[in-house]
């Protein structure tokens, strides 16, 4: 657990919003260099960590970008207006502390005219919000911020009871950690095939990184690793997509995009070693990199494995350490179970 916590903290502390991924790309490359044969990037900023091997090429994509904000305007009094990068609940941002690229902190507040405390938070729009960094006026503010600068949520790691972790950016710092550790573990166990752990850019906005990664690597199989909605806290409904719980294991996705043979092999690998797993179902789009990779090149055999998550896209997401470990172990065993002769044709 301590190793997981230490590395997760490293990844979260450099996490910047979609379009500003360079710092996390550099860190991921440094973390992978000791146990892969090569690390390289592309023009978009995707980082590829490659273990060489014969036969089929496998790719594990996980996006490195996170949700955040971009400064759009500095008013005369030094207050900052912004647009969201990725999906946010505007009401959930009120009172949250943020950090600017310069290191300056601020707090998100709502216009007095919006009167959210009188009329409630349900109808709050992002344009009712602003960031107060304590500036005296616009000139003072511009010493620390300019239009176009990224902003991220200033919330960090806390260990909760019973093996739970609360942090920002588990979506998808958790996935990036999982794919690197799975590749490392599989190599230590003698995995023979070639594998790319691809940390992609832009998932929270356009998913452009995933399409480029699939088109460049042209893997025989890609298993996207992301987070998914846990349905084990108040107000959720297991009928939406499946009865997913924290601590119940990694989640295999039923979808028109997901390859059934890959799913079956993941289940076999899990059952062989007693690794718990869960199932979810989505008709059509999954909202992950899998959606774009599936259509890259001439079509790529694709599956999706997810980390159960509470409070997705909030300042404090919550996951379970056991689910991280079991995701790593399942993917490592999957890599060691396939070779160049493994037939994943759904019609054979």
pLDDT tens per residue across span 16-51: 788 888 888 898 899 899 999 999 999 999 999 999
Q: In the structure encoding, which two tokens stand for residue 309, read together?
A: 């998550």
Task: Render the burial of 136-175: b for 16+ CB within 10 Å, e for the rest.
Answer: eeeeebeebbeeebbbbbebebeeeeebbbbbbbbbbbbb
Mean pLDDT calculated for residue range 63-89: 93
26: CB partners within 8 A, 6+ apart: none
Contact 275, 249 (CB under 8 A): yes
> How confident is the model over 3-20, as pLDDT tens digits?
666 666 677 677 678 888
Tokens found for residue 254: 């039923």
Does the predicted TM-score (pTM) go above 0.85?
yes
Query: How many whole angstroms separate alpha carbon 69 and alpha carbon 84?
Result: 4
pLDDT category of residue 340 using cuts at 50, 70 and 90: low
| Separation CA 302–CA 295 (nearest Å) | 9
Q: Please indicate whether residue 203 is annotated as part of the active site.
A: yes
Which band of pLDDT confidence, cut at 50, 70 and 90, is reported for residue 87? Answer: confident
With contact defined as beta carbons under 8 Å apart, do 214 and 296 qualify? Answer: yes
- Mind listing the pLDDT tens digit for each residue in 242-301? 899 999 999 999 998 899 999 999 999 999 999 999 999 988 789 899 999 998 888 899
- Tell me the pLDDT tens digit for each residue of 107-129: 999 886 655 555 555 567 888 89
Q: What percent of the chain has pLDDT over 70?
A: 90
Confidence band, pLDDT 50/70/90 cuts, at residue 194: very high
Q: How many CB atoms within 10 Å of residue 344?
A: 17
Report the pLDDT value the prediction gives residue 2, as an integer from 0 to 100: 47
| Per-residue model confidence as pLDDT tens digits over 292-330 | 999 888 889 999 999 999 999 988 899 999 999 999 999
- Span 137-162, mean pLDDT? 92
Answer positive or negative: Cα dihedral of 336, 342, 347, 348.
Answer: negative
Q: Which of 30, 101, 181, 203 is catalytic?
A: 203
SS3 content of the chain, % helix, strand, coil (to 5): 30, 25, 40
Question: In the chain, at which residue ranges do the beta strands (DSSP E only) sit?
Answer: 38-41, 47-51, 57-63, 68-74, 80-85, 97-100, 105-110, 129-132, 150-153, 158-159, 164-167, 194-200, 221-229, 251-255, 278-282, 301-309, 317-320
What's the whole-number mean pLDDT along residues 205-234? 94
Exposure of 37 in the CB half-sphere (CA atoms within 13 A):
9
What count of Cα atoms within 13 Å lies in the side-chain half-sphere of residue 17?
A: 25
Q: Which residue has the higher pLDDT, 159 or 305?
A: 305
Cis omega (within 30 of 0) for bond into 281: no
3-state secondary structure of 26: helix
Q: State how far the Cα of 111 lies from the Cα of 132, in Å rounded to an integer.
A: 11
């Amino acid at each position: 657990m301590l190793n997981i916590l230490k590395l997760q903290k490293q990844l979260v502390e450099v996490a910047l919003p979609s379009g500003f991924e360079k710092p996390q790309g550099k860190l991921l490359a440094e973390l992978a260099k000791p146990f892969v044969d090569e690390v390289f990037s592309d023009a978009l900023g995707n980082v590829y960590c490659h273990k060489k091997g014969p036969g089929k090429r496998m790719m594990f994509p996980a996006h490195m970008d996170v949700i955040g904000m971009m400064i759009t305007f500095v008013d005369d009094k030094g207050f900052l207006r912004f647009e969201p990068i990725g999906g946010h609940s505007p009401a959930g941002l009120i009172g949250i502390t943020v950090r600017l690229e310069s290191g300056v902190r601020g707090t998100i507040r709502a216009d007095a005219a919006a009167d959210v405390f009188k009329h409630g938070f349900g109808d709050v729009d992002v344009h009712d919000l602003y960031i107060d960094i304590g500036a005296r006026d616009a000139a003072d503010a511009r010493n620390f911020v300019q239009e176009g600068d990224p902003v991220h949520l200033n919330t960090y790691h806390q260990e909760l009871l019973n093996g739970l972790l609360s942090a920002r950016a588990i979506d998808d710092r958790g996935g990036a950690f999982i794919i690197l550790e799975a590749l490392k573990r599989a190599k230590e166990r003698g995995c023979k095939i070639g594998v790319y752990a691809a940390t992609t850019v832009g998932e929270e906005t356009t998913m452009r990184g995933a399409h480029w990664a699939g088109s460049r690597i042209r893997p025989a199989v890609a298993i996207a690793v992301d987070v998914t909605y846990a349905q084990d806290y108040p107000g959720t409904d297991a009928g939406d997509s499946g009865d997913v719980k924290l601590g119940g294991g990694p989640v295999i996705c039923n979808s028109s995009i997901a390859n059934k043979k890959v799913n079956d092999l993941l289940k076999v690998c899990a059952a062989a070693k007693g690794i718990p797993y869960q199932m979810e179902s989505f008709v059509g789009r999954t909202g992950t990199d899998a959606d774009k990779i599936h259509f890259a090149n001439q079509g790529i055999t694709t599956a999706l494995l997810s980390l159960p998550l509470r409070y997705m896209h909030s300042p404090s997401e919550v996951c379970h350490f056991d689910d991280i470990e079991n995701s790593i172990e399942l993917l490592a065993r999957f890599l060691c179970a396939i070779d160049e002769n493994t037939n994943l044709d759904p019609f054979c």
